[in-house]
A and B are shown apart, each in its own frame.
Chain A
Amino acid sequence: MRVPLRWLSEYVDLVLEPEELARRLTTAGVEVGEIITAGDWQNIVVGEVVKVDKHPNADRLTLPTVDIGGGEKRQVVCGAPNIAVGQKIAYAAVGARLLDGHSGDAIVLRTAKIRGVESQGMVCSEKELGLGEAHEGILVLSPEAPVGAPLSEVLGDTVFDFDLTPNRPDLFSIIGIAREVAALTGQKVRDPSIQYEEKGAAVKGRAKVTVADPDLCPRYVGALIEGLKVGPSPDWMQERLSAAGLRPINNIVDITNYVMLEMGQPLHAFDYDRLADHHIIVRRAEAGEKMELIDGSKHTFTNEMLLIADAERSVAVAGVMGGFDSEVTEDTKAVLLEAANFSGPNIRRTSNALKVRTDASTRFEKGLSQHLPPVAAARAIKLMVDHAGGEAAKGVIDQHPGKAKEGRVTVTMERIVRVLGIELSTKRIREILTALGFGARWMPPDRFVVRVPYWRTDVSIADDVIEEIARIEGYDQLPTSQLRGQIPELVPQPRRDLRERVRDALADAGMQEIITYSLTDLESLRKVLPKEELAVAPPLRVSNPLSRQWEYARTTLRHALLETLASNLRGDQSLISLFEMARVYLPREDDLPNEVEMAFGIVSGREPDRWGRPTGEPAGFFAAKSRLDHVFAALRMTADYREATVSAYLPGRTAEVIVGGDRVGLIGEVHPQVVESFDIGREVGMFEVDLDALLPHVGEIVHFQPVSPYPAVEEDMAIVVAEDVAAGRALELIRASKLVANVSVFDVYSGEPIAAGKKSLAFAISYQAEGKTLSDADVAKERKRIVERLKRELNAELRA
């Protein structure tokens, strides 16, 4: 909402500088988004065209001579078709700062020859002055503009562009802003005049309004103005409309727009003679009803939409836009002026459905006051009488089926203290409320009965009134305090705790955290998930996606890690290891999806050498596993790995991750075909862990174990087994011995001298007893038992 300060000052004295006023308004909740200074012009003055000569070399150009005051005249070259002797225009001297008429760039005017004739300055268009978009012709000033006066004195203005909140429809008007300014600066509001003479015959019997659907139209005021002469509106009105961002059209339309900007009530003028039976019917559309609107668009309506019709057909979409057939034209002699109140939600629904948003609909949808239509109608009638030669009929039609009660709110001093935390004097409270137009009657001993002014449709409870007091007093004027009272009992957050521990462990393992978008496309999911899975449980789809790229709620993060990896490859072999903690969204029948907490990690490239150069082994399965095991170590858990075949992973290098008997995740090398589909030309290790599945296995507090005072005996043991025997199986068997405190694999070897189809596994074993120092004989006995067990279970031979 753009408010020119010159216009605003007609209703309230502006006693503060614009910057300070803007600051005060913003602090009080009426946010000035931008202060636009129109007319900070230098070297531009009012000139009068005294002569227009033809350009000797160009038909389209003329050579006007401009009187610039002080007896000085300048001849310029001009391309505007509308230039004429006697016009007051804006003359820019050489050195003036302007905007280029075509590109809009800032320029400094220089002396120039145009088609062989020197131009001593120039005559400006609106666009060149930064006043608007018009550049077809020059800007013609009011005939009263004094020749030689700086243009900034004649046209200059400061415009506040407000960012308003939807709860305050009253502020979408100059008078509404004036009321705020008055309350904030201790000034009085001057309401615009609504007095006019009713010279015409009575409206009764000559026009009729029927509100067929009062639930959607609580009030409809219709006024008849005859004898109109349609033409341009007065200059001052055009200037104000332009400054506020509206294009002047003709006096009738301009007046309806002017009053809408001035008072916040949208109006519509129907050509009285084009309304069948001079009868307005406010009714729901019949399903499938069609109409062409003023802007030329054609629409079909549903029976939830409210239309304005005459006796024969629809003539407007209520509160949104008028119909083409009944609009005011040059030939219009009489209008039926509509000032109505419509249901906000209904207007909003209609405007959204038709995709037509207008200055009217954006005001109506916020819920305007039912008391505004007669006031705004009177104001518009007065302006039509004064500036369009109109004759007002006697009386207006006022259908008011849905009368709203005047708002009264009781506000106790106790409530004020409870909400604001401080006491304010009754004097100050009354002062603030009165300044805002509220009535505040003190009811001893402890309360105000507050009468809400009709335009404040947003105020209905005591706390609303308290906000009024606080915002005008200024929130910054209130003291601060710290929360007292009981701190609520701790509600454990095991899910979050686990997630954050895993996050830390992954970063500790040298992995970089990433955060990627929760939505993706089907294409990406298809690359990493089996077709059957997508068919059986299709991901949730967004019905209004911002782009095809972000259409589905992801059920995995595989694609996201692969995409991020691909986008970070820099053509070398540097190790990249990334992880992400995020939810996946598994659809459920007629319910919100199951949001599962996942941890995904990916690693690719070569391990760094002593100098950090990527010369080591290509990172694959084991690089991923060491990182994942680091997480389990941090959680003081052990995971088992069971070879598995899973889509998107490379068979033979993929495992399920088992904790406490439950499958909690997957780990493996990414399938070469998948790697290729993401344009990653190298091996990739990846893991994924379902934290919700892991959660039940997270241990509680660690229990201290006494450190054994008896020395351990360390020994190595190598066995030969068939190639397909998993080392993990042997480890399990060795670990099963009571005297084995620790065991780890330290070598896997196949080839000479090991027989074909066999491999050697070497283990470091640490023996320790609870209550004594082990003798060599004890160890030998235990070793023998282990070897026998390995032989029995795995057909293992002790390696010589």
Chain B
Amino acid sequence: MASDTDIKQLEASALKDLDAASDGAALEEWRVTYLGRKGRLTGLLRSLASLSIEERRTVGRSANDLKKRLQEAYDWRIEHATKARVEQVIAGERRDVTLPGPPLPRGRLHPITQTMRDIVASLSGMGFQVAEGPEIEWDRYNFEALRIPQDHPARDMWDTLWIDYEKDGRHPMLMRTHTSPNQIRVMEQREPPIRIIVPGKCYRFEATDATHEWMLTQVEGLAVDEGISLTDLKGTLAEFARQMFGRDRKVGFRCDYFPFVEPGMECRIDCFICRGDGCRTCHHSGWIEILGAGMVHPEILANAGYDPERYTGFAFGMGVERIAMLRYGVDDIRHFYSNDLRFLRQF
């Protein structure tokens, strides 16, 4: 049976316990014990049922007043507790916000990998799939099947590192000089439509200087289908160039020669340093060459077993180092494979 005495006792014990509650968990426990749905105050109110209406009214009022007081005391404690913590920090536990956090290890991808991924992502978006091939190749794939037979003067365009392996008086094995041999390998295995890119390392018998490396990375592209024309090649390369070098790039094309394409071309972008006025980067031409391309020579399609009257295609190839140099403003290609961390960590 509830009485004013009960209420007083409850208040005394509640306030004592509240005082003793030292942390958030204890405060929460106190709240459940006294103010919760199954708490002691609710229990007390529930026991009013056995009283007369008048008594119920008086004790009920006192109980409700107590609930209010306890709630206030609790709220004050909560507020005070946070406040005290805040004051404690302000008073003596400030952080010097200019100090660094503890270091987390940071790894980065090589700039050539980063550039390669951007190139692949751009072309993947146009439906080109990656197809990789061997870096040590047969002469047959690297040259002969690309219309560059033995003793052809175009071989001078790709100075070659030959593997010390002789067969029938010739050296048929070499370090591939470009990624083009994989065009042939893919065409041997698949039927049109074909839309592939071949990323990978290539090698040249070439003295190194600021713009030449003997090991280089290329991306080759090949599309073969009915109805592919030079205007598609132009459109694909223009879109690629703008994705890589900015939407406002102008893209130009000039005639060039590669034995495996006809017509052949070179793709250029307007120099983004001088915007076409002529500067050192563009050798005062206003243009920067970024890749070679052309329509796949009908003989190559025929050799792959495709009907060159029905199918046409285009191919293109670019040096990833060159693209990376242009994008990052790197002035010497030899930085890439010297692996100086002071260089690599910039990217």
Contacts and interface: CB of A to CB of B under 8 A. Distances in A.
Asked whether A and B interact, the reply is yes
A366 interface: yes
B1 interface: no
A27 interface: yes
Contact of B136 (A486, A564, A593): A593
B134 interface: yes
B53 interface: no
B279 interface: no
B337 A516 contact: yes
A543 B163 contact: yes
B195 A478 contact: no
Given A480-B238, A484-B227, A568-B340, A491 B263 contact: no
Given A168-B257, A483-B235, A510-B104, A595 B164 contact: no
A467 B341 contact: no
Contacts of A544: 161-162, 205
A489 B102 CA distance: 48
B107 A506 contact: yes
Contacts of A346: 151
A487 B205 contact: no
B312 A482 contact: no
Contacts of A515: 110, 112-113, 336-337, 339
Interface in A1-33: 23, 26-29, 31
B136 A585 contact: yes
Contact of A421 (B108, B203, B232): B232
A342 to B, nearest CB: 12
B11 interface: no
Contacts of B164: 540-543
B263 A483 contact: no
Nearest to B161: A542
Contacts of A553: 136, 163, 175
Nearest to B263: A467
A517 interface: yes
Interface in B127-178: 127, 129-132, 134-138, 149-154, 156-157, 161-165, 167, 171, 173, 175
Given A26-B254, A518-B201, A544-B162, A487 B127 contact: yes
Interface in B313-336: 336
A463 B298 contact: yes
Nearest to A168: B257
A165 interface: yes
Nearest to A560: B339
B295 A480 contact: no
Interface stretch (A280-288, A469-477, A698-706): A469-477
B253 interface: yes
Given A166-B156, A348-B151, A509-B105, A422 B127 contact: no
B236 interface: yes
Contacts of A417: 229
Contacts of B161: 519, 542, 544-546
B253 A476 contact: yes
A471 B105 contact: no
Given A488-B129, A568-B340, A463 B232 contact: no
B92 interface: no
B26 interface: no
A345 B236 contact: no
B205 A166 contact: no
Contacts of B195: 483, 487-488
A173 interface: no
A167 B109 contact: no
Contact of B107 (A27, A422, A511, A516): A511
A444 B147 CA distance: 34
A510 B106 contact: yes
A202 B193 CA distance: 66
Of the four ranges (under 10, 10 to 19, 20 to 34, 35 or more), the interface on chain A belongs to 35 or more
Contacts of A513: 107-110, 113, 344
B20 interface: no
A420 B231 contact: yes
Interface string A601-623: 00000001011100000000000
Interface in B189-231: 190, 193-195, 201, 203, 205-207, 214-215, 223, 225-231
A463 B301 CA distance: 13
Contacts of B336: 515
A17 to B, nearest CB: 15
A759 interface: no
Contact of B153 (A366, A514, A579): A366
Interface string A530-571: 000000000011111110001001000000000010011000
A481 interface: yes
A506 B190 CA distance: 34
Contact of A166 (B103, B129, B257, B344): B257
Interface in A328-362: 344-346, 348-349, 362
B225 A485 contact: yes
A592 B263 contact: no
A518 B135 contact: yes
Contacts of A418: 227, 229, 312
A488 B226 CA distance: 13
A486 B193 contact: yes
Given A344-B153, A516-B337, A29 B256 contact: yes
Contacts of B110: 513-515
Given A478-B231, A488-B129, A542-B161, A503 B113 contact: yes
B192 to A, nearest CB: 8
Contacts of B165: 540
B264 interface: yes
Residue of A348, A467, A490 ringed by the most chain B CB atoms within 10 A: A467
Interface in A415-430: 417-422
B77 interface: no
A577 interface: yes
B341 A568 contact: yes
Given A420-B229, A608-B103, A540 B136 contact: yes
Contacts of B135: 518, 583, 585, 595
Interface string A157-168: 000000001111
B151 A510 contact: no
Nearest to A553: B136
B102 to A, nearest CB: 5
Contacts of A610: 102
Contact of A482 (B149, B190, B235): B235
A751 interface: no
A466 interface: yes
Interface string B69-95: 000000000000000000000000000
A771 interface: no
B339 A567 contact: yes
A576 interface: yes
Contacts of A577: 105, 107
A778 interface: no
Nearest to A546: B214
A479 interface: yes
27 contacts: A31-B254, A165-B256, A345-B149, A345-B150, A349-B151, A419-B263, A420-B229, A463-B297, A475-B230, A483-B235, A485-B227, A488-B194, A491-B129, A510-B105, A516-B337, A516-B339, A519-B161, A519-B203, A540-B136, A541-B164, A543-B163, A564-B339, A568-B340, A575-B105, A579-B107, A583-B135, A592-B173
Interface of A: 23, 26-29, 31, 165-168, 344-346, 348-349, 362, 365-366, 417-422, 461, 463-464, 466-467, 470-471, 475-476, 478-488, 490-491, 493, 495-496, 503-504, 506-519, 540-546, 550, 553, 564, 567-568, 575-577, 579, 583, 585, 590, 592-593, 595, 608, 610-612
Interface of B: 100, 102-110, 112-113, 126-127, 129-132, 134-138, 149-154, 156-157, 161-165, 167, 171, 173, 175, 190, 193-195, 201, 203, 205-207, 214-215, 223, 225-232, 234-236, 238-239, 252-257, 259, 262-265, 285, 295, 297-298, 312, 336-337, 339-341, 344-345
Q: List the 4 closest A-B pairs by CB distance, nearest first.
A: A510-B105, A29-B255, A421-B229, A421-B231
